[in-house]
Structure 1
């Protein structure tokens, strides 16, 4: 397992000093009625570390992000730095330092890219509101756009963007809020090979500046090339964890991706189309990747 990169004296993509908060998730469990979507999942993301979260369709990866960010009820411990996030709303968790992107890249299409980034940067509380009244609203869009390579798109309306461009804007919008930990849900979806390679370089820049990143993606070339450490989920449980090299050699991981693993009795894929104990077909399209 690789050692986390030092975050001392680092700066975020928006130019502010990195807070150096680690995300620690312990025993995270999500149940929908009698279905256990996540079962005692534990994951850590250190400042300046890029952790991949992979697994077959229906393994629970998006459910994990939803639970950590407060969009899905869960049990277990979620801590950011020294603060527990359990019981907080999604908005409160965002203000505490969590940022995320979405599979669908659901942008405000009637706004420009710059305006979308401004929305992403706005996490209101009374302190920030007071500062904006006195000094005006800070602008972070230029630095974030440079970080993601989308400066040329800033003044374009989002409804005219290509699919790959929308994904980059979605990542930039999440980063505009200057999170301590950024959770990315399939940011490479819709990107071609060259765009995916460029995204890898940009994500490394974000991480090297001190932000911790959890990356969920099916582009294994991207995941293996850019991640410091990888956690593998299968049927809602952690199957393996290690460096990209260790994960590539892990026989349990190979078996899971070939579809030959047997699900635990208490877990099954969190897919409405899957029956208990049945893995979705590789070609199925699910909200939870």
Structure 2
């Protein structure tokens, strides 16, 4: 990676960067043994899947005012051997419904262009708001040939995966210092709908909240967390498969979860504690949605 920055003043700066990153497939993506997600949906890994390589370019600008900090960036990512999950007809049926197989493949290339805004706003000393907005355009190039057998007859279905799509995501996190040194965080996330190589991904909205209080001379913390308040964090996809098949898939990683925790920190300095708080704020006070 390479990074260059320039400060116009104490409150204003610009940067430009380049990095080359590798994205290795997970073990599940490589496992050739099938996993039964339902009686008509089967996931099969691809042991020949190669790592994806990304060239990333970023141009950023940051400006600070009295209560507001704004950082923006325009970026371009070019990925070779990008992972793409494809669904195909298995050639068999369950109670009259065709069985489909989902498999990851290396598609030729993916281009992503976009811009991102991050805003930190402190309307009062006891209230902090940070938000993120990301708008991007995806362009994918590649094709794939599906092979399956029905009654000893081999069928080959060719599908062109060349496509382009626009989408956006946003996140808002609010942190309020309540009386008795209680911290309250509330965050909301939204991923807009997006056209995919074989269909369309439905938009997803979710929200989390937490209450925490330091005790025992700030060496311990009691926390109450609610993940996915509205139980809406679900991945939904409409897929159109060669052979005039349409498949609707809905998956939820985890249902609404309420946890009560107690954390005690041994030999943690004040500086370490501040770093922990900063990391918690950057994480948005909750789990990131695994959109696949």
Instruction: Tell me the TM-score range normalised by the shorter chain.
Output: under 0.3
> Which has a greater percent of helix?
1
Compare relative contact order (CA 8 Å, sep 6+) and give the higher one, 1 or 2.
1
**TM-score w.r.t. length of structure 2:** 0.25
**TM-score w.r.t. length of structure 1:** 0.25
